[in-house]
Structure 1
Amino acid sequence: MKNLHRSLLAMAAIAAFTAPALADSQVQLFGIVDAGLLSQSKSRTGGSQTRVETSGLRQSVWGLKGSEDLGGGLKAFFNLESHFDVDTGALHGSGDTAGSGTIMFRRQANLGLSGDWGSVTIGRQYGPALLAHLGTEPRAFKEQFSNLYAWAYNQLEPLAGSTAVNTNNDVGIFFKNAIQYRNTLGPVTFGVLYSLGEQAGNTSKNTAYAVGAAYNGPVVLSASYQAMKDLTTGNRNIEHAGLGGAVPFGAFTFKINWLQGKNSNSDGLPTSRVDAYSGGVDWKWSQANTATLAYYDDKDKRNSEDHTRNLVLSNDYALSKRTTLYAQAAFVDAKSQASLKTSIVADGSFAPGQKTTFLNVGINHTF
C-alpha cells in the first residue's frame, strides 16, 4: 500500500510539472477526403471509360500539425502531411527520384519558428512559387482540370526520358532538404526557399531555389520563379516562372494566369518550353454555390504538336463548412503529340489528336 501511495504521489508530481507545458502547446489532426466518379468519352487506348476517382476537387490528405508559444511573440511549429488515394487506400505516388521508396509524408515533414519577423521552416515543404498563384490560377490549382498539372509535369522531366536529375524536386511543388523564409508586409505575402544540394565538394550541384509573392489588395497580383540544378553537372535543368492577376467585381472574380516551364538535359541542351495561358471567372451565384468557367491553352514552343486547348465548367455546392458536393466538365482538344506537359487532366488520359469530354462528380470533406 505504501508503494502504491508513493507511485500516486510521483504521478501527481509529473502531472503538475507537465500540465503547463501541455497547455502551451497545440497539436491538431487534420485532413481532406475526396472521392467521386469520372467518365470520359475517349481514352489513350481508344474507348470510353468510367472509374472511381480520388481527389477530384482537392487532394486527399491526412496530417498532424502543432505549435508551441515560446513567449515574446515567438512560436515553434511543425507540419506532417501525407497524401493518399481514396479509391485504393494506397499512399499517392511521388515525383521523387527513382529509388526513393514509399514517401509517408510526401507533402510536408518540417519544423520551424515564427514571430513578428515572419517564419523560417526547415525540411520537406511546399515551395513559395506555387503558393503565390493560388489566388490567380483560374481554378485555384484544383486537383483535377487545372494548370496544376502543366506546373507539375513541366518540372518532372524524367517522365520524358531526360537524363537530368535533381533529387530535391518533387514536381516543383514539394522540396526536400529545404529552408524557407516567409513573411507578410502590408498587402504583400512572399516566400524565399533554398534546397541544399548536399553533394560533397560542391555547393551548387543538385540545389533548388524558389521565390514567390502575392499582392492582396483591391486586386490580386502574383509572380514566381524557381529553378533546379542537375545532380551530376550542376547545369540549371529546370526553370519555371509565372505571373497572374485577379479582379473581383461583385459576385464575380475574373482571373488570368501565365506559367512557363523550360527544361534542359544534363548537358544543358534545351528539351522543352511550355507556355501555359489561362483565364477564367468565378461566380458566387448563391450563398452555397460557386460556378467557375475557365479556359487553358498549353503549348510546347519546341514541339507545336504538343498542344492542348481546354474548356472547364464546374460548380461547387457547400453542404456545410466542411463538406462540398462538386460537378465539373472538361473539354480537351489535343494535338497529335499532346503529352503530360500540356495536360490539365491529372493522369493525362485524354486522347491525342482528338477531342475528349470528361465529367467528374464527387464529394469533398475536410476534418
Structure 2
Amino acid sequence: MTNKNIYRQFVASGLCVGALLLSGNVVAQSGITLYGQVDTYVGSVQAIGQQNRTSLLGGSGGMQTPYWGIKGTEDLGGSLKAIFALESWYRPDTGASARYNGDNFFSRSAYVGLQGSMGTIKFGRNTTPYWISTVTFNPFAGSFAFSPAIYQSYFSNGSVAAPLLGDSGWSNSVVYTTPNMAGLVANAIYSFGEVPGDMGKNKVGGNLLYKNGELGATLAYQQVDYSQVPGDLGVAFAKQKALFAGLSYDFKVVKLFGYLQRLDNKVSTGDLKRNSAQIGISAPLGTGSVLASYAYMKTKGTMENNRNSWAIGYDYPLSKRTDLYSAYYRDSVSGIGKGDTLGFGIRHYF
C-alpha cells in the first residue's frame, strides 16, 4: 500500500459495532461504511541493550497497526454534510482490543463533525496533524515494527525514552481542515486539558500539506502542556514544542523521502533538546517495492546521547488490498546498546 492510501485511511476513519445492527434502509440513508485492516508478521526482536532475542507473532502489526471501524455521512443540503467516525485498534494474535492493555477501545478515532465548502471540523478524539506529516514523509509510513522515523519519534522500545509526547491521537480535541487550495491543505488541532482551575494544561498543533505532481512537502508543529506527569521526563517536565519539516519527490524509478525534526523540552532541572533527521527511498523492483530508511537523533541537555536507526524491506502486492512484506530494522543508542527486529508478514485491507 502507498503512503497516499495510508494517509487516506487516517483522514477517513471509524468503528461502531452497534451500527451493524441497523436496518439496510437506515444504513443506505446514512452512508455508513465498515472497513479496516489486518496486519501480522512472524519474526524476532532483540531489545536495545539486551542479549536475549524474542520470537513472536507480531499481532500489533508489522507495516501498520491493525484497526477496524465504521464511518458515516449524512447529506444536510447545500453541500453540507454531517460526518462521524469511531475506530479501534486491535491485536490479531490474541484477539485483544486496543494497542496495549489499558488503552481506550476507540483510541484511533472517535469524532463527529461537519464537512462543507468551507472545510471540515471534527470534535472528539482525532488523529494529530503531526502524526499525518510523519507517516506521509517516510517510506515505512506508520510502522511501529520497522520504521526508523516512528521509532525515533513515538516508540520507546523499552530502554529508550520516546522523544515525542502526546500520542498519535488527542482526546477532547477539535480539528479544522481547510479545503484543498491548489494542492495545499492546512490542519489545526486543539485539545482541552479539562483540568479544574488550570486553563493552561492543553495541547495545540497543526500542519501544512502540499502535493503538486511528483512533489510533496509538509510543515508541522505541536505544543504539549501536561496536566499530569509524563513518565519519560519525570515531575520536572513542563512543556514540549515540536517542529517538523518534510519533503518527498517521486522520480518514478525511485521516490525520495526526507525530514528534519526539532524538539524543545522545558524542564525545571534543565532544558532538553532533540534534533533528528531521516532520509528514505521507495523503489519499484519487479512487482513490488524496495523500502529503505535511515534516521539520526542527537540529544542535548539534561541527558546526552546519539541514536542511529536504519531499516530495509520489500513490499509485494498480491492484489489491491493484500500485500506480503519482509523487513529488517536496526537501532542503536550511544551508552545503551543495540537492538533489531526481523519479520515476514501479510497485510489485508477490507
- Check whether TM > 0.5: yes
Q: Which residue in 1 is equivalent to 2:80?
A: 74
State how 1:47-86 maps to structure 2 within 5 Å: 47-54=52-59, 55-86=61-92
For the residue of structure 2 that corresponds to 1:148, the secondary structure is: helix
Find 2:154's aligned residue among 152, 167, 174: 152
Q: Which residue in 2 is equivalent to 1:217?
A: 212
For the residue of structure 2 that corresponds to 1:185, the secondary structure is: coil
Larger displacement relative to structure 2 (187-196 or 142-151): 142-151
State how 1:132-147 maps to structure 2 within 5 Å: 132-146=133-147, 147=149
Q: Which residue in 2 is equivalent to 1:15?
A: none
Q: Which residue in 2 is equivalent to 1:114?
A: 115
Q: Which residue in 2 is equivalent to 1:308?
A: 307
Matched, 1:237 2:245: no
Deviations 1:210-267 (A, max 9, x none): 011111014111111101113279x8512111011011112211111122233334xx
Aligned length: 316
Q: Matched residues in 2 for 1:336 and 1:282: separation?
A: 32
Unaligned runs of 5+ in 2: 1-22, 230-236
Deviations 1:54-113 (A, max 9, x none): 200111111111111111111111111111112222223469xxxxx5511011111010
Q: Check conservation: 1:151, 1:259, Cα contact below 8 A.
A: no
Q: Matched residues in 1 for 2:305 and 2:257: separation?
A: 25
Q: Which residue in 1 is equivalent to 2:39?
A: 34
Q: Which residue in 1 is equivalent to 2:8?
A: none
Q: Matched residues in 2 for 1:125 and 1:289: separation?
A: 32
The structural deviation recorded for 1:306 is 3.1
The residue type equivalent to 1:74 in the other structure is L
Q: Which residue in 2 is equivalent to 1:10?
A: none
Q: Which residue in 2 is equivalent to 1:173?
A: 168
Q: Matched residues in 2 for 1:119 and 1:255: separation?
A: 28
The residue type equivalent to 2:221 in the other structure is Y
Find 1:200's aligned residue among 183, 196, 199: 196
Going from structure 1 to structure 2, the CA distance change for 1:270 and 1:247 (only over 3 Å counts) comes to farther
Deviations 1:195-219 (A, max 9, x none): 1122334422x21000111110141
Going from structure 1 to structure 2, the CA distance change for 1:125 and 1:48 (only over 3 Å counts) comes to same
Q: Matched residues in 1 for 2:265 and 2:289: separation?
A: 36
Q: Matched residues in 1 for 2:280 and 2:64: separation?
A: 19
Q: Point out the structure with max Rg over C-alpha.
A: 1
The residue type equivalent to 1:274 in the other structure is R
The residue type equivalent to 2:279 in the other structure is G
Q: Normalization by structure 2: what TM-score?
A: 0.81
Find 2:263's aligned residue among 261, 264, 270: 261
Q: Check conservation: 1:132, 1:190, Cα contact below 8 A.
A: no
Q: Matched residues in 2 for 1:171 and 1:253: separation?
A: 30
Q: Matched residues in 2 for 1:84 and 1:49: separation?
A: 21
The structural deviation recorded for 1:129 is 1.7
The structural deviation recorded for 1:51 is 1.3
Q: Matched residues in 1 for 2:270 and 2:303: separation?
A: 15
Q: Normalization by structure 1: what TM-score?
A: 0.77
Q: Which residue in 1 is equivalent to 2:254?
A: 252
For the residue of structure 1 that corresponds to 2:32, the secondary structure is: strand
Going from structure 1 to structure 2, the CA distance change for 1:186 and 1:82 (only over 3 Å counts) comes to same
Matched, 1:191 2:187: yes
For the residue of structure 1 that corresponds to 2:92, the secondary structure is: coil
Q: Check conservation: 1:251, 1:283, Cα contact below 8 A.
A: yes
Unaligned runs of 5+ in 1: 1-17, 96-100, 162-168, 338-351
> Identity across aligned pairs (percent)?
25
Q: Check conservation: 2:110, 2:125, Cα contact below 8 A.
A: yes
The residue type equivalent to 1:250 in the other structure is K
Q: Check conservation: 1:212, 1:223, Cα contact below 8 A.
A: yes
Going from structure 1 to structure 2, the CA distance change for 1:45 and 1:309 (only over 3 Å counts) comes to closer
Going from structure 1 to structure 2, the CA distance change for 1:311 and 1:133 (only over 3 Å counts) comes to closer
State how 1:286-365 maps to structure 2 within 5 Å: 286=286, 288-302=287-301, 306-337=305-336, 352=337, 354=338, 356-365=339-348
Q: Matched residues in 2 for 1:276 and 1:262: separation?
A: 12
The structural deviation recorded for 1:153 is 4.5
